């Protein structure tokens, strides 16, 4: 199963407003911002997106739980 973060389209070259609109359409919700200008968006599957003040997008997939089959 692909995470929401890995299923996002390429956001390179998009404005911050365009990127946030895409995140919202894909089910991400604004979570927090810092005084330094970083913004965090979370998806119900645990994926996290950070938008840096420079506009760079950092994707983090959900936590991988240990399998009990080991």
Decide if pLDDT at 41 tops 60.
Answer: yes
Distance CA 18, CA 32 (A): 18
The per-residue pLDDT of the chain, averaged, comes to 88
Q: Is 5 exposed, middle or buried (0-12, 13-18, 19+ CB in 10 A)?
A: buried
- Its pTM stands at 0.81
pLDDT tens by residue, 43-69: 999 999 999 988 888 888 877 777 765
The domain ranges of the chain are 4-60
Q: Write down the CATH number for the domain with range 4-60.
A: 3.30.310
Joined tokens for residue 59: 């994707």
In contact, 52 and 38? CB cutoff 8 Å = yes
């Amino acid at each position: 199963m692909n995470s929401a973060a890995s299923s996002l389209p390429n956001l390179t070259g998009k404005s911050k407003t365009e990127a946030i609109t895409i995140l919202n359409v894909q089910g991400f919700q604004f979570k927090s911002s810092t005084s330094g200008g970083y913004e965090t968006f979370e998806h119900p599957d645990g994926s996290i997106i950070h938008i840096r003040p420079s506009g760079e997008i950092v994707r983090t997939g959900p936590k991988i739980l240990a399998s009990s089959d080991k």
